Structure 1
Amino acid sequence: MDMKTYLSLDATALAGLVKKGEVNPRELVELSFQRLDEVEPKLHAFTAERHEQALLDAENGGNGIFGGVPVALKNISQALAGQRLSAGSKLLADFRPERDSHFVARLKAAGLIPIGHTNTPEFGLKNISEPELFGPTHNPWNTDHSPGGSSGGAAAAVASGIVPVAGASDGGGSIRIPASFTGLFGLKPTRGRTPVGPGAGRQWQGASIDFALSRTVRDSAALLDELQVVQPEAAFQTPLFPGSYTQQLHHEFSGPLTIAFSLESPVGTMVSEDAKQAVLKTVRWLEEQGHRVEEQTPDIDGVQLMREYYLMNSGEMALLQKNLEKTFGRRLTEDDMEIESWLLATAGKRVSAADYSASLAAWDAAAAKMAELHARFDFYITPATAHPAPEIGELSHSKESRTRLLQALDMARDTTDQQELIYAMFLPSLSYTPFTQLANLTGQPAMSLPLHVTEANLPIGVQVMAQKGEEHRLLQLARQIEQSDLWIGQRGNPFFQ
């Protein structure tokens, strides 16, 4: 197989050729590394590669629905025995897990061959992938821009053709944001659908979930068939979908859909004209198909909900810091972490149990509001991101900014002041991506569809949310749109020309 053919095929097609004997797994792995060597100096998508191990895996590859197909893993939670898993933190730069996570084990059982781990911001806390430990990952559409985060390395790997699919995770949009910025399909499943294990805990109290980024809908559908599981020890139990997500792609809706949409930022920030146009042309297409579409915004205080989200982040980071101090046998200092991690961890030490519990109650209240909306509407559509991808460095904190934030932290008198500081710290990045967090806090499935490109040739996605457990309907809609002229995908991406 030549490189042009490799780049043109998705994981499903590549696996089909392996099953027919027209290509072998070693050839595919070699092609993936050939592509990696070619584009990695421009993108910096990977934090670790496993050439020899992947080629050894390929000798025994070929089994499973994706038998022999290369895959990339995310450098957070997706543990591969003996391989570095740093979460973008210099504290964990040499950490090597002793066993595969359950999630990675299921990827391997499906026949996928991990070729390495991809870049991510420290502890997955940002919507860009520019960790101090590894440096920034660049967007294949325009290398002056970010591919987003926290699954930015994964997005760059798929949107440059290194691999057809990549492991990703989403705790506030970290699958859908990079998908929007790089022209990929990004599905965040229902809370509990694809648990990580072992010992992964509640993953930000259920806000975060692991899945994948892909270039085609059918690849994500087939992956969800393989990765959905009920684990007895998992904190969140979601019943298995009784059918096949792949087969669902071939079904038609029984009648016209009723769909809500909104163009308003939930936190009152500006939404670009490109983001609005992406949604509006999707709305027109849906109406042309006979569906009923109505502009409707949920009755949810988006600013307050984000404050509750950051309060949870604070508590989780305080616990992480405590555990790391036990591991290293010393107190951590501000020099051990990036500024966002340090401020969250410091503020988290002041968060009371009552405030933390109230935060989670606010999530549940938002979930109830969305359930009310979905009693009337099949889907809820917004921009996936409010703007196309930011430039590299645009949302990172300079040394001067870090100093100012540390000084402000010292002056903060109480928990309220600290949480206000955290909100202000994240607001510039939140203004780029204010739409995705809602689905994380309610537990709903949501997807980003690659349906628009700006005049500057930067993609921007459209987000669709559904009621819990209805990934099959999201995938069904995505497949119908994918077969229309509305779908942009990688058209215009210089790495595919």
Structure 2
Amino acid sequence: MRDDEYVRYDGLALAALIRKGEVSREEVFEAACQRIESHDPAINAVVRTRFAQARDELAQVDPVAPFAGVPFLTKDLALAIAGEPLCAGSAALRDWRAPLDSTLVSRYRRAGLVILGQTNTPELGLMGITEPHAFGATHNPWSLEHSPGGSSGGAAAAVAAGLVPLASAADGGGSIRIPASNCGLFGFKPSRGRLPQGPNYAELWDGAVSEGVLTRSVRDTAAALEAVNGMDRGAPLPLPLPHEGGWREALERPPATLRIGVSLRSPVGSGVHPEVRRGVENAALLLESLGHVVEWHDPPVDGERLAQCYLTMCLGQAAAQLAWISEQTGVVRHRLDIEPTTRALGRLGKALPVADYLLARQRWNDLARAMGEFHERYDMLLLPVLAGPPPHIGQLYPSAREQHLMRLLAIPGLSRLALRMGALERLSHEALSYMPFTQLANLTGQPAMSVPLHRTPQGLPIGVQLMAAMGDDKRLLSLAGQLEQAKPWQTMPNPLR
């Protein structure tokens, strides 16, 4: 299979070619491996390959599976493959090996996907960019000077560059939607509880994280979610969602007339770039032209409280993750080989009073109730994914001065003092000024998606975000399919075709 043929198809189309006998699964496999070897050095999306193991697994693929023989990459965070590395973007885990497969890894394999390797992620998934010290920065295929975002930046760059037609991703604060926006992809964050996170976890980041995929077509996302959705046995959740069909069928018919609220107000009061505004405004006009009712209406949430709740969770989770790494590796926490920012966030999290963490977690309920009332009037919410276009590499990474301050904050005693002096409030504004629009869906658990409907004059992608009520995933996907038909997007950047 020629390279220009391989990159032309989405995952379902490749599977159909294999099923019809027009191309063999081995030919598709070799085309993907060659594409990774020739194009990944420029973008640094893949942190490790497993071609030999994948070649052996290729022979075991069920020929009637929806993605039988389709190449796939998993994110180097949370999705474990038994006996293989899982570094979470950190040098501290270079020598660690996963004891067993994640449930999702097993389900992706049952769906016919062939895992060729793992993709780059920021250390512990704590940033909206992908520039870890351990593996280096991932570059955006649309412009190598720009970032793909994060934390699923490696996955997004890999799909946008045509290394694979789809890749696993996870979203704890926008980590599917942010890189989808920056890389011109479709990125869908399912409702909380749709996809399993076991057996190693019940709810990552207290339920803020939803697993998913990044794709060039809406139908690939729908088919992947149909194949792997449903909680795994033993998940200690209040009401684990069972497996559901009908995801692909949701794309066969457009949704009935929707009432859609539109907002450009940043939750933390930061500015919104004119191109982002233009993208949202044009999307609103497109939705109106499709027969939907569109009204400007801000979501009824306290943006500053939302930001503080989110950052409180991140700090506490950073501390817990570092404690887990220390336990797994046998290296005391203060000697772990981690980045200064990660160490400081972990120290702040450890200094955070338990009562403050639990109170912030309880306030997720207030946000969810407020959005429940919003959806009594509106079916969907249209808003930006990010406050600006894709940033340059290094633009959002902490400066040398900021890293020095982080090192000071990591000193025992100073972190607790910093919290008392309002460090959390300042940190929440600084950390989220560029990416303030995505965290709401993580704390409320709602489904949300980034749809690649806009481009800057320089050709950089800008996605628009749509959120639906909790559990209304299929109607949101149906709307995505309608938008894809009404305004098809370029699926790959010209320089990397």
- 2:253 pairs with 244, 251, 254, which one? 251
Aligned residues: CA RMSD: 1.8
Whether 1:104 aligns to 2:105 is: yes
Instruction: Kindly state the Cα deviation for residue 7 of structure 1 after the two structures are TM-superposed.
Output: 0.7
Partner in structure 2 of residue 369 of structure 1: 370
Partner in structure 1 of residue 15 of structure 2: 15
Matches within 5 A, 1:306-325: 306-325=307-326
Distance 1:429 1:146 in 2: 16
Any idea what SS the aligned residue of 1:142 has? coil
Partner in structure 2 of residue 58 of structure 1: 58
The code of the aligned residue for 2:251 comes to: L
Instruction: Kindly state the Cα deviation for residue 328 of structure 1 after the two structures are TM-superposed.
Output: 3.7
1:86-139 CA-partner distances (Å, limit 9, x unpaired): 001111012111221001100000000000000000000000000000000000
> 1:429/1:23 Cα in 2 relative to 1: closer, same or farther (>3 Å)?
farther
> 1:477/1:415 Cα in 2 relative to 1: closer, same or farther (>3 Å)?
farther
Distance 2:312 2:415 in 1: 16
Partner in structure 2 of residue 48 of structure 1: 48
Partner in structure 2 of residue 336 of structure 1: 337
The code of the aligned residue for 1:472 comes to: K
Identical positions, percent: 42
Distance 1:89 1:472 in 2: 36
Farther-moved stretch of structure 1 (420-429 vs 271-280): 420-429
Farther-moved stretch of structure 1 (210-219 vs 24-33): 24-33
Whether 1:268 aligns to 2:261 is: no
> 1:451/1:415 Cα in 2 relative to 1: closer, same or farther (>3 Å)?
farther
Distance 2:492 2:55 in 1: 31
Matches within 5 A, 1:177-326: 177-236=178-237, 237-240=239-242, 242-254=244-256, 256-326=257-327
TM-score by length of 1: 0.95
The code of the aligned residue for 2:139 comes to: H
- 2:453 pairs with 447, 451, 454, which one? 451
Given that residues 387 and 434 in structure 2 are in contact (C-alpha distance below 8 angstroms), is that contact kept between their aligned partners in structure 1? Answer: yes
1:56-88 CA-partner distances (Å, limit 9, x unpaired): 222333341100000000000111122211001
Partner in structure 2 of residue 75 of structure 1: 76
TM-score by length of 2: 0.95
1:182-223 CA-partner distances (Å, limit 9, x unpaired): 000000000010012112132000001111000000000001
Instruction: Kindly state the Cα deviation for residue 428 of structure 1 after the two structures are TM-superposed.
Output: 4.3
Distance 2:415 2:9 in 1: 57
Partner in structure 1 of residue 86 of structure 2: 85
Instruction: Kindly state the Cα deviation for residue 304 of structure 1 after the two structures are TM-superposed.
Output: 1.6
Given that residues 125 and 340 in structure 1 are in contact (C-alpha distance below 8 angstroms), is that contact kept between their aligned partners in structure 2? Answer: no
Instruction: Kindly state the Cα deviation for residue 248 of structure 1 after the two structures are TM-superposed.
Output: 1.1
Structure 1 alignment gaps of length 5 or more: none
Distance 1:145 1:235 in 2: 41
> 1:67/1:418 Cα in 2 relative to 1: closer, same or farther (>3 Å)?
farther
The code of the aligned residue for 2:162 comes to: G
The code of the aligned residue for 1:30 comes to: E
Instruction: Kindly state the Cα deviation for residue 332 of structure 1 after the two structures are TM-superposed.
Output: 2.0
Distance 1:314 1:75 in 2: 21
Distance 1:136 1:224 in 2: 29
Structure 2 alignment gaps of length 5 or more: none
The code of the aligned residue for 2:447 comes to: P
The code of the aligned residue for 1:37 comes to: E
1:165-184 CA-partner distances (Å, limit 9, x unpaired): 00000000000000000000
Distance 2:472 2:456 in 1: 31
> 1:314/1:326 Cα in 2 relative to 1: closer, same or farther (>3 Å)?
same
**Number of corresponding residues:** 494
Matches within 5 A, 1:364-443: 364-408=365-409, 410=411, 412=414, 414=416, 417=419, 420-422=422-424, 424-425=426-427, 427-443=429-445
